[in-house]
A and B are shown apart, each in its own frame.
Chain A
Amino acid sequence: MLIVDDHAVVRTGLRLLIDAEADLETVGEAGSVEAALTSAAGCRPDVVLLDVVMPERSGIDGIPALRQAFPAARILVLSMEDNPGYVRKALAAGASGYVLKEAVDTEVVRAIREVAAGGRYLQPELGARLVAAEAARRPAKEGPLSPREREVLRLIALGHTNPEIAAKLHISVRTAETHRASIMQKLALQTRAEIVHFAIAEGLLEAPEREHGRPPTP
């Protein structure tokens, strides 16, 4: 094990925790990614336990360098940050697992064993959060609306007024009003809030804005 964390107290605690397990052993510790790359260069850890928030370079940014320095090692991130963005970024950078510090006593040992065995480990609640975040990124579906109506719907959801929509799409205000009415009628929606929720559900808001005045080719 190689422990990379900028807090000496935490490092000491982790070392105690790990060394208490018969099958685990700490071979080195470092206060930063840089220190790990230089002073700990001699040791050959199977797992690097890595903190995210550290002065100088963040743990996640240091993952590629650590992987290069310790090609045989798997990387397990141990952090206070529970934002799915960090998890995604760490996994993308080549980490094998991610554990929150609040679960340090219950999860870390299990995670180390899992990762060392070649598997991946995500703290369960983080996994759920990640899935939820991905689910919000559903692709757009074709509905009963025409492409132009979908465009108008998107603009309505973004809070544009009829005159603004007309100006953006180079149509008359009356046409914009007609589109709006037809959308409401087709979808049986009554309020703006309903329109917005529909647009969100349809993933319309994630469609990059198209060239004005040109319908998309099917």
Chain B
Amino acid sequence: MNSRLAGRLRRASPARARREPVAPFEGFALVPSVAVAVAFGLVLLPSQRNDPLFLALAAVAGAATVAAALGARRFPRATAYGMPLAYMLMVAFLREAEGGASSGFAGLFLVPLIWLALLGSRAALATGLAALAAAQLVPFLVWGAPAYPPSSWRGGVVLTAVAAIAGVTILGLHSATRRRAVENERLYAAASRWSRRLESLNEVGNALVTETDLERLLELIVDRLRALLDARLVRLLLPAGGGELRCAASSGEEADAAGAPRPLRVPLVVHDRRIGVLDAYPRDGGGFSADDVRLAETFAARAAVAVDLSERVERDVVRRVVDAQERERRRIARELHDETGQTLTSILIGLKGLEDAAGAESLRAVAALRSAVVAALRGVRRIVVELRPKALDDLGLVPALERLAESVSEQTGLAVEFIAEPLGDRLPSEVESALYRIVQEGLTNVVKHAAASRASVVLARSGGALRLVLEDDGRGFDAERRPAEGFGLQGMRERVQLVGGRLAIASGAGAGTSLLVEVPLR
């Protein structure tokens, strides 16, 4: 669509067509008056048979024409019909005054008719034609017969007929053109709307493949949608954990959303699962059409794909990192256990033999060596358990946690109570690893930051889910200075999400902290 065509179509806008027949007056109102002046100058004044009466009447009608033209701005509709009438009367009187059959008058009659026809108003044209017909009758009505010969007034009748046909034809052509222009405008608007939509969708589609930053992609989506819907504000909300939504991307005026009309809300759906919503707020007094809703749904579907993809990639990366980490820890733990542990064990046995053979002096040295080796062996065992307790693989989550709670108590003096409901079957190893690491990390946090004297770890089934509650009686923290994602919380959250669970944390200054993990059991 080139710009010239666009310009033409814009000029022929339906809004302007609706304002007719009033508008052209403003530019062309004085055309008939100028024509009259020309008639006076060229046709009338050289004539020999001027009749002062008719000249006077023509002057009055001419003045009325000018007055009507001048009043066009204030009384457009009255002028549209009044001025041609006054003009025709003027021409009729002029013809009487001239008393002849000068063919120049034919042209004068046609001027307002063509003009009226161009206005495109059927009523205005009819009025003009009636005025023309009346002008022919004036001499008969006033004086019984015109001053000019019959051939001339017959000519007037023919003229009226010709003017009528010409007027109707022009009117027809004119309105057809206008209709076409209106239709063109409508088609163009629709086409450009669709082309804009396609462009935006295409842009979003390309970005889906090439844009790696989810935030920028979502910004693009809300931006384009807002432009297409001509909305005041478009926002994309994603779950923020704890059942709340956070704004992931927005475009438009964020202010006074409170008093705003209810937004159009479209869900982001992936595999029958709602993963977020797209809100579009209309402008004041505006609304959205069914078309707009469909468009918003299309954009929401694109956004859903993007969010889902990014989450999957993220989960995949986290899973691989976590798997690799566990594998590596397991390997190191095994090596420590097998190599270092067994070597220390054999040294211990060797020391025993040495002790039996040693003299009294060496005995003390052997005893010191022995206690060093025992300490090393214990150290190895502690590190092995921290890295990856064998019990977690062999015995399951509950015995592993039992021992963890106990060793934290032994090593730090924090009283850790661990209570678990018998879980029956073993849990998936991914879940066991995740929960074990969370308790490990959580207890480390309690020891490091909470200044607590007691902590409890509770593990039980509730409904179709496994719930883990880790609480302490420490100093807690305010919602304000909440260590948002510090203290390894981010890592814990990721591990929980990997196994499809959720993590919540509650605390208040001086009220301790409780960490809740819920993992659905399949």
Measured CB to CB, the residues of A under 8 A from B are 7, 9-10, 12-14, 16-17, 20, 53, 58, 60, 80-86, 89, 101-105, 129, 132-133, 136, 155, 157-160, 168, 191-193, 196-197, 200, 205-209
Contacts and interface: CB of A to CB of B under 8 A. Distances in A.
Contact of A196 (B402, B462, B471): B471
A9 B347 CA distance: 9
Interface stretch (B62-70, B373-381, B486-494): B373-381
A80 B460 CA distance: 30
B396 to A, nearest CB: 8
A157 B460 CA distance: 10
Nearest to B392: A83
11 contacts: A13-B349, A16-B350, A81-B391, A86-B394, A105-B370, A132-B406, A158-B460, A159-B514, A192-B512, A206-B460, A209-B463
B352 interface: yes
B381 A158 contact: no
Task: Please give me the 3 A-B residue pairs with the lowest Cβ-Cβ distance, nearest first.
Answer: A85-B399, A13-B349, A105-B352
A206 B421 contact: yes
A101 to B, nearest CB: 5
Nearest to B399: A85
A58 B390 CA distance: 11
Nearest to B334: A53
A196 B370 CA distance: 44
Given A13-B350, A102-B381, A83 B403 contact: yes
Contacts of B355: 105
Contacts of A197: 417, 454, 456
A158 B516 CA distance: 8
Contacts of B399: 83-86
Given A85-B391, A132-B406, A157-B469, A209 B461 contact: yes
A205 B349 contact: no
Given A82-B403, A205-B421, A159 B516 contact: yes
A7 B402 CA distance: 29
Contact of B469 (A16, A84, A159, A168): A159
Interface stretch (B116-124, B285-293, B335-343): B335-343
B467 A105 contact: no
A23 B58 CA distance: 155
Contact of A10 (B342, B370, B456): B342
B345 interface: yes
A101 B406 CA distance: 20
Most chain-A CB neighbours within 10 Å: which of B338, B343, B400, B471? B471
B346 interface: yes
B353 A159 contact: no
A10 to B, nearest CB: 5
Given A80-B377, A82-B403, A168-B462, 7 more contacts: A12-B346, A58-B394, A84-B399, A85-B398, A89-B395, A157-B458, A158-B467
